[in-house]
């Protein structure tokens, strides 16, 4: 299995920090966000990683190189302008191949055991996504979950974590080089009963604002204080 890290976003809500620093290189606990993902991907036994980049792409590419520091092989998918999530996947499909792949949003921080996710059997499903309890900033959630099947029902609702295993065919209707979000395609797959899911109750943070970044680092400081 290959992995793809979505790292092409501009990080508008993190400005002015992201004017000069790509969001994936923002540090949590003294380490860039994207390096946490690379370490966990390597620990899961995956060796081939595709990373899409756009804003300050050269900074990210220079920082990570070819991935050998983590025992990985990194292939780069460059976008200009950024193509959003589904557009990024469709454009990188030539690098991903046609087998299911692990998808990771670069701007989340999570301790989910990726080996278990990567080892799941999709069967006839288009994908399996990891959900989390709804954070304060998204009380309405994104999807329902009943008996392992993701849906669009009213309750119980959870928030998409940014972690998934997907079949590349989920973006069949998206032309490479075009701009398109992934969320509508996930909702469509859920409505068709073709999306599995699980809830992760451990550490998860959407590092989307300076306030959330500061709170995440404070949480680490509190837990590590003697």
Range(s) of the domain holding residue 78: 2-224
Helical (H) or strand (E) element with 17: helix 17-20
Identify the pLDDT of residue 225.
37
* 3-class secondary structure per residue, 126-173: CEEEEEECCCCCCCCCCEEEECCEEECCCCCEEEEEEEEEECHHHHCC
Structure tokens at 108: 């989340």
Distance CA 226, CA 224 (A): 6
CATH number for the domain harbouring residue 94: 3.90.550.10
pTM > 0.75: yes or no: yes
pLDDT digits (tens, 9 = 90+) for 156-167: 999 999 999 999
Identify the pLDDT of residue 223.
47
Is the separation of the CB atoms in 82 and 54 below 8 Å?
A: yes
Beta strands in the chain (DSSP E): 2-6, 27-28, 31-32, 48-53, 73-78, 101-105, 108-110, 127-132, 143-146, 149-151, 157-166, 195-199, 204-206
**CA–CA distances in Å: residue 165 to residues 5, 175, 186, 198, 210:** 12, 21, 12, 11, 29
pLDDT for residue 190 is more than 70: yes
Q: What percent of the chain has pLDDT over 70?
A: 97
- In this prediction, residue 221 has a pLDDT band, given cuts at 50, 70 and 90, of low
Identify the pLDDT of residue 29.
84
pLDDT for residue 222 is more than 70: no
Q: Please tell me the total count of domains within the chain.
A: 1
pLDDT for residue 179 is more than 80: yes
Is the separation of the CB atoms in 105 and 162 below 8 Å?
A: yes
**CA–CA distances in Å: residue 191 to residues 17, 76, 147, 162:** 39, 33, 15, 19
pLDDT digits (tens, 9 = 90+) for 30-49: 899 999 999 999 999 999 99
Phi and psi at residue 8, to the nearest 5°: -95, -5
- In this prediction, residue 150 has a pLDDT band, given cuts at 50, 70 and 90, of very high
pLDDT digits (tens, 9 = 90+) for 58-98: 999 999 999 999 999 999 999 999 999 999 999 999 999 99
pLDDT for residue 226 is more than 60: no
Distance CA 63, CA 32 (A): 10
pLDDT for residue 224 is more than 80: no
Q: What percent of the chain has pLDDT over 90?
A: 83
């Amino acid at each position: 299995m290959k992995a793809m890290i979505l790292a092409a976003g501009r990080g508008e809500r993190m400005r002015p920090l992201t004017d000069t620093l790509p969001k994936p290189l923002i540090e949590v606990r003294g380490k860039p966000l994207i390096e946490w993902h690379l370490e966990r991907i390597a620990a899961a036994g995956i060796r081939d990683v595709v990373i899409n980049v756009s804003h300050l792409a050269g900074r990210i590419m220079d920082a990570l190189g070819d991935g050998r520091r983590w025992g990985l092989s990194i292939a780069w998918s460059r976008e200009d302008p950024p193509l959003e999530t589904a557009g990024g996947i469709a454009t990188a499909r030539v690098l991903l191949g046609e087998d299911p792949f692990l998808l990771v949003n670069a701007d989340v921080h999570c301790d989910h055991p990726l080996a278990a996710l990567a080892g799941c059997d999709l069967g006839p499903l288009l994908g399996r996504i990891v959900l989390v309890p709804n954070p304060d900033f998204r009380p309405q959630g994104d999807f329902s979950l009943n008996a392992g099947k993701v849906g669009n029902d009213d309750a119980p609702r959870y928030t998409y974590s940014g972690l998934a295993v997907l079949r590349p065919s989920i973006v069949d209707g998206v032309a490479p080089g075009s701009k398109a979000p992934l969320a509508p395609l996930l909702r469509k797959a859920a409505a068709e009963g073709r999306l599995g899911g699980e809830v992760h109750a451990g550490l998860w943070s959407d590092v989307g604002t300076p306030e959330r970044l500061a709170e995440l680092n404070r949480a680490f400081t509190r837990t590590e204080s003697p």
